[in-house]
Amino acid sequence: MKNSLFKYCLRLGDNSLILGHRLAEYCSNGPYLEEDISITNTSLDLIGQAEAILKYAAKVEGEGRTEDDLAYKRPEIEFYNVQLTEQPNGNFARITARQFFMDAFNFYLYSALKESTDNTISAIAAKSLKEVTYHLRRSSEWVIRLGDGTNESKIKMQEAINDFWRYTSEMFEMDEVDEELIAKGIAVDLKPIQDLWNKKVDEILAMATLIRPEDAYMATGSRKGYHTEYLGYILAEMQYLPRAYPTAKW
Amino acid sequence: MSNTIEELEKQFQEKIDNEIKIEPKDWMPDDYRKNLIRQMSQHAHSEVIGMQPEGNWITRAPSLRAKKILLAKIQDEAGHGLYLYSAAETLGVSRDQFIQWLHEGKAKYSSIFNYPTLNWADMGAIGWLVDGAAIVNQVSLQKTSYGPYARAMVRICKEESFHQRQGFEIMAKMMAGTKEQQQMAQDALNRFWWPSLMMFGPHDSDSSRSSLALKWKIKRETNDTLRKRFIDKTIPQAEFIGLKVPDPDAVLQPDGSYKTGPIDWDEFWNVVKGNGPCNKQRLDHHKRAHDNGKWVREACIAFSEKQDKRKVIAN
Ligand SMILES: [Fe+2]
Ligand SMILES: [Fe+2]
């Protein structure tokens, strides 16, 4: 049970950490200043969420590690973020698509986790939900605006949706970790969340005059710590200082 | 009754002399407006270009807390850019135009941002020294004669002093840390000390624009006065955490102030003219982001036009 809860927290925390990191990379690259600020805001929310959940993960593990140890000293194979979160920024449509898919997932996930029997998880979920509700509204609006904007923006938005589609089933995968925690009321069943997610995606894509891609090959592996090649580079950069100067405090 | 230019100028100067703020709709001499457009847009561009040297370390911030603080700090700077562009727009120039002038090299930004950030302590040095120097200048500008600029400064100053403390905290932490961290901190101070002093601009004796700006109270104090205030405040802070400013001639005087060595003005003018280590990199980055965002901005316009049409049809 302790191991399952630890791993479950890492999944949640790593999703926020890696997506937050990707958004942080975009700082000073926004299409205009107001949007630059908004993306940094989302990034800050996500890193804050990661900090809270990883802190709890460290406590659950009980080995004396901190949230920073978990973020900065773990190897790639022990990261459990879904592969979608680690995909490179590319153009603004790609950032929007990646964000929308994750926001919709997080919105329904945290809505359900608010009722978790684990007090810490339910408290973090309740706090995160406020932020994620706003994120989802923003990213939905962007999908619609770009989809129904110019011809060029429509093409770019559709391409981004198509390219990232293969990474959208991984977030709903469940294994023995989920089973054990669902039985205790700590975790939530992802099947109904997937149904809600599908409905939301269909609704927004329709409003955006975009086409929902067909399911083809769907990426998998993050539940076991397998990632795309991109995660290694994220960690190489992110973990550089704590690993190069292991005794230093910052 | 129509006023002659002379009368308008006289009334304008009376307002200035009586500390009455000039507001956007008030009459103002052309050169006053031009002087403000130049200074305020330069200030706005500095906030925005300044996001880059610090942005360079976001992905390598060594703790979650450090990453959040750095991100929030850079976001504040973007916000300062926004206030300042809005304040500058009251002079009748659009933000697009300001950005175009920046890209064409017709508008400048503070040369300090043309230096690279080479180690993590640079995040401390920038907050402590660059924001520190900016505060000294901006506190003085809270009393500038143009209302929108003065009000923007009041808002901005509160955040800047927070940045300065956070920067100093990074330096202090590193000086209390390992030998390598101490070396990084000293190295950062060595590289940022002189450029920070140059932020105040040329000596009063060489500053052509100063006298008119002072008469109009756009500037409230001279470059050398402000620079000296910064030096006297900062050297003791450096010494307090065990750092040494890279100036062999710096000596404490009996009155508690510091006498410092000569500034290398050749370096200053060289960087101003575009030959600093990062001038091209910073401007290219800004142009690239702006160009990459063009289709997004166009999509926003197209979408809102469609929405407006739909509303008309629906009604
Ligand atoms: Fe600022
Ligand atoms: Fe600042």
Dist. CA B139–CA B221, nearest whole Å: 11
Residue B14, amino acid: E
Q: Give me the mean pLDDT over the B183-204 stretch.
A: 97
**Per-chain residues with Cβ under 5 A from ion ligand 1:** B 47, 77, 80
Supply the mean pLDDT for chain A: 98
Q: Give me the mean pLDDT over the B143-160 stretch.
A: 95
What share of chain B in percent tops pLDDT 90? 93
- Three-state SS for chain A is CHHHHHHHHHHHHHHHHHHHHHHHHCCCCCCCHHHHHHHHHHHHHHHHHHHHHHHHHHHHHCCCCCHHHHHHCCCHHHCCCCHHHHCCCCCHHHHHHHHHHHHHHHHHHHHHHCCCCCHHHHHHHHHHHHHHHHHHHHHHHHHHHHHCCCHHHHHHHHHHHHHHHCCCCHHHCCCHHHHHHHHCCCCCCHHHHHHHHHHHHHHHHHHCCCCCCCCCCCCCCHHHCCCCCHHHHHHHHHCHHHHHCCCCCC
- What band does B158 get if pLDDT is binned at 50, 70 and 90? confident
Closest to B96 measured CA to CA, from B107, B109, B111: B107
- What band does B1 get if pLDDT is binned at 50, 70 and 90? low
Is the CB of residue B20 less than 8 Å away from at least one CB of chain A?
no
Domain segments of chain A as ranges:
2-244
If you compute the radius of gyration of chain B from its CA atoms, what whole number of angstroms results?
A: 22
**DSSP code at position B251:** E
CATH topology of domain A2-244: Ferritin (1.20.1260)
> What are the residue ranges in chain A where pLDDT is below 70?
none
What share of chain B in percent tops pLDDT 70? 99
- What band does B206 get if pLDDT is binned at 50, 70 and 90? confident
Q: Give me the mean pLDDT over the B134-146 stretch.
A: 95
**Inter-residue contact B126 to B167 (CB < 8 Å):** yes
Instruction: Return the pLDDT at A41.
Output: 97
**Could you report the per-residue pLDDT of B42-100, keeping only the tens digit for each?**
999 999 999 999 999 999 999 999 999 999 999 999 999 999 999 999 999 999 999 99
**Binary contact (A250, B289; C-beta < 8 A):** no
B contacts of A242 (beta carbons < 8 Å)? 62-63
Dist. CA B87–CA B12, nearest whole Å: 20
Q: Give me the mean pLDDT over the B220-232 stretch.
A: 96
**Could you report the per-residue pLDDT of A179-225, keeping only the tens digit for each?**
999 999 999 999 999 999 999 999 999 999 999 999 999 999 999 99
Dist. CA B145–CA B28, nearest whole Å: 11
Which SS3 state, helix, strand or coil, does residue B252 take?
A: strand
**DSSP code at position B127:** I
Instruction: Return the pLDDT at B150.
Output: 97
Kind and range of the H or E element at B192?
helix B179-198
A45: closest chain B residue by CA: B68
**Could you report the per-residue pLDDT of B85-113, keeping only the tens digit for each?**
999 999 999 999 999 999 999 999 999 99
**Inter-residue contact B35 to B149 (CB < 8 Å):** no
Kind and range of the H or E element at B95?
helix B95-103
Phi, psi (deg, nearest 5) at residue A149: -95, -110
**Binary contact (B78, A152; C-beta < 8 A):** no
Phi, psi (deg, nearest 5) at residue B22: -85, 130
Q: Give me the mean pLDDT over the B269-273 stretch.
A: 95
Two tokens, residue A175: 């294994």
Say which of B180, B293, B299 has its CB closest to residue A30.
B293
Supply the mean pLDDT for chain B: 96
**Is the C-alpha dihedral spanning A25, A30, A33, A34 positive or negative?**
negative
Q: Strands of chain B (E only): list them.
A: 251-252, 258-259
Say which of A67, A91, A150 has its CB closest to residue B298.
A150
Dist. CA B140–CA B150, nearest whole Å: 9
